[in-house]
Structure 1
Amino acid sequence: MSLFFIILLKIFPLYINIVLGYVATKFLDVKRESIANVLIYILGPIVVFSATLSVKIDLSILFLPVFLYLFCSIIAFLSLFIWGKSWNDPTGNILAFSAGTGNTGYFGIPLAIIFFPPHLADIYIFTVLASLLYESTSGFYVTAKGNFTVKQSIQKMLRLPILYAFILGIICNLIGVQIPEAISAYTGQFKGAYGILGMMMLGMGLIGLQRGSDLDAKFISITFILKFIFWPLAMLAVIYIDKTYIMFLNEDLYKVLFLFSIVPLAGNTVTLAVLLNAKPQKASFTVILSTIVSILYIPIVLALYGGF
């Protein structure tokens, strides 16, 4: 069996969760707003805190989330500057948010568990903290700015517990605090729950879509070019520069960087859009479409990369 089909078979079960999310909302009356709150205010902080403690931090590993957080933030603010006023609603803010991140958590963590050995999967999860921190700070800000003043946006950002979970996790890691094995096994289950509910959120977003207003060709084309072309090319450029001139990272960390760059649009695009009432249907349609495209896109680019 070719590498393409091996990869395709590995990732296909993840899409079942999208169908389950649609069924839960359509037939069981599960409210996506409630799931969004659970993800941001309960599961997210636990996953962030436990993952921060699970990695032995050195300079090269610490470089990944720091670099990616800065990269995500710069891309988001540049996108807001370029396209922020291209629509007469918060669409430009949602575009800026999605330009700076991808579905590194809900989608990327299950992929890392599938493709990487446990120690490298832990490093990937630690790197995902860059996305979570971005989504909770600068990403949240560029999204909220569409509906709130600067002061209100910052106040809402500072109320997000993920930010404090990350800070607490770093402090505990540096001073040598360790979670007992029994508790660690318990908190480890939240990683799976985070991925499952996050993917289900995408299916929940299908409810209420209106093709006329939610199929925005301009919005979709810009976000797809940024996510599926710009991001992997940018990470390949970083890998080439480091491998040729700097030699600070290693092959395992190159794999983490590349996986980080090829996931579809962020599921939290929908989550934040729901919480902030910033065009959630349009965000859901675009995220779902990018996730469908990824069924073929991810196996293709991984096969071209040579696989993990």
Structure 2
Amino acid sequence: MFVDIFQRVAFLIAVSLLGWYVGKKFKISSKDISTLLIYIFSPIVSFVLILDSPANVGYVGYSVLFYVVSCIAAVLALWVGQRIWKDNRANLFAAAGGQGNVGYFVLPLAIGLLHGKEGGAAAIGIIVFCKVASTIYEFTMAFYLTARSLYSVRKSLIMVAKMPTLHATILALIVKYFGFHLPEFLSSGLNGFTGGYSILGMMVIGLSLARYEKLIPDWKFTAYSIIWKQGLYTLVIISLFTYFFNLNYAEKIVLVMLASNPLAGNIAAVAAALDVHPEKAAFAIMVSTILALVTVPLTLAFVF
């Protein structure tokens, strides 16, 4: 397990470093790439993931539960953040505090570890729908909390309502419910966006860091974000759901992976798109991802 996690983390870091290199060499804007991710790649990937999922629409319950838990965690993080910072770092802390890196970390890790195993298909199916909830969270609640540091409630809500990921998810659920299927040429073509989405998402981290000639890390923001997400969040979520819910084996695996994963990569995209401390978000995500080498295997070993 450690080798598999190490390889995946190393690859994610390498992609981020590649983003930093091309950002320095070609002066590519992280904000432009983030706009592509938010308005093009994210809705298409959410649509494809739902249609291709082996699970049925009944799994939507997992999406709803994960989304609600993420929103509650984000609101609590905002309350804590406003007592630590008096600027919009509190909003960024809240956006990052709702959930972790489901799409670029948990989903490929689950497929690698659980494919073909007993209960593996069910666990992967749950994670797919949690990934959909994760994407919706990032471009609704997380986007709203970050935007609120710059705009009014009304304007922030209007911006969220225009997020195409929300519309694409609703459309995909309707299509799946009625059993419609896309033509083969269209399905295979859209699947190509999935790989690009993961790569661009991690490259945004490096591109955000490349904007600055001399990067001064915000260790306070990084430390608090990691303590919240990979410490308190993990402990509270696993304890609550283990105590109050009668989880089967597949659900317990999903719970541990979703609770102990690193900071979400797409928070860097949201921060870059809104220009709210993107370098602080990118640096914290990079450190958090490296720490996942230790936190994820230890949490899995402890629970099981």
TM value normalised by structure 2: 0.88
Any idea what the Cα deviations from partners look like across 1:65-90, whole Å, max 9, x if unmatched? 11110011111112222322542321
Give, in whole Å, the separation in 2 of the partners of 1:110 and 1:14.
Answer: 11
Q: Does 1:233 align with 2:235?
A: yes
Matched residue, 1:15: 13
Question: What is the alpha-carbon distance in structure 2 between the residues aligned to residue 51 and residue 265 of structure 1?
Answer: 21
Out of 181, 185, 188, which is 1:185 matched to? Answer: 188
> For residues 121-270 of structure 1, what are the structure 2 equivalents within 5 Å?
121-207=124-210, 208=212, 210-212=214-216, 214-217=217-220, 219-241=221-243, 246-247=245-246, 249-270=247-268
- Count of aligned pairs: 297
Contact 2:2 2:297 in 1 (8 A): yes
- CA, structure 1 residues 187+116, in 2 after alignment: closer, same or farther (shift >3 Å)? farther
Shift of 1:305: 4.2
Quick check: 2:5–2:293 contact (8 Å CA) kept in 1? no
Q: Is the contact between residue 78 and residue 91 of structure 2 (CA under 8 Å) also seen in structure 1? A: yes
Return closer, same or farther for 1:10/1:37 CA change in 2, 3 Å cut-off.
closer
* Structure 2 alignment gaps of length 5 or more: none
User: Structure 2 residue aligned with 1:273, among 256, 259, 271?
Assistant: 271
Distance 1:58 1:175 in 2: 10
Aligned partners of 1:4 and 1:300 also within 8 Å:
no
Which residue number corresponds to residue 22 of structure 2?
A: 24
Tell me, in whole angstroms, the C-alpha distance in 1 between the residues paired with 2:139 and 2:213: 26
**Shift of the alpha carbon at 1:176?**
1.8
* Contact 1:45–1:162 (8 Å) recurs in 2: yes
1:282 is displaced (CA, Å) by 1.5
CA contact (8 A) 1:65 1:129 kept: yes
Residue of structure 2 aligned with 1:81, choices 79, 82, 88 = 79
Q: 1:7 to 1:270 in 2, by over 3 A?
A: closer
- The answer (yes or no) to whether the contact 1:103–1:266 under 8 Å persists in 2 is yes
User: 2:9–2:290: 8 Å Cα contact kept in structure 1?
Assistant: no
Pair 1:94–1:10, CA change in 2 (3 A) = closer
Q: Which amino acid aligns with 2:248?
A: N
- Give the residue type in structure 1 aligned to 2:40: I
Percent of counterpart pairs with the same letter? 32
State whether residues 269 and 283 of structure 1, in contact with CA within 8 Å, keep that contact through their aligned partners in structure 2. Answer: yes
1:124 positional shift: 1.5
Evaluate the alpha carbon distance shift between residue 159 and residue 280 of structure 1 in structure 2; reply closer, same or farther with a 3 A threshold: same
- Residue 115 to residue 187, structure 1, CA distance change in 2 (3 Å): farther
Q: Label 1:134 to 1:300 Cα distance change in 2 as closer, same or farther (>3 A).
A: same
- Please give the alpha-carbon distance, in whole angstroms, between the structure 1 residues aligned to 2:286 and 2:8: 19
Q: Could you say which residue in structure 2 is the equivalent of 1:284?
A: 282
What amino acid does structure 1 have at the position aligned with 2:266? N
Quote the offset at 1:53 in angstroms.
Answer: 1.8
Give the C-alpha shift of residue 7 in structure 1.
3.7
Question: What's the Cα RMSD here?
Answer: 2.3
Amino acid at match of 2:287: L
| Change in CA separation of 1:87 and 1:232 when aligned onto 2, cut-off 3 Å | closer
Q: Contact 1:136 / 1:157 at 8 angstroms: preserved in 2?
A: yes
Is this contact kept in 1: 2:208–2:268, CA < 8 A?
yes
State the partner residue of 1:302: 300
SS at match of 2:86: coil
Unmatched 5+ stretches in structure 1:
none
Change (3 A) 1:110 1:195: farther
**Whole-angstrom distance in 2 between the partners of 1:275 and 1:10:** 26
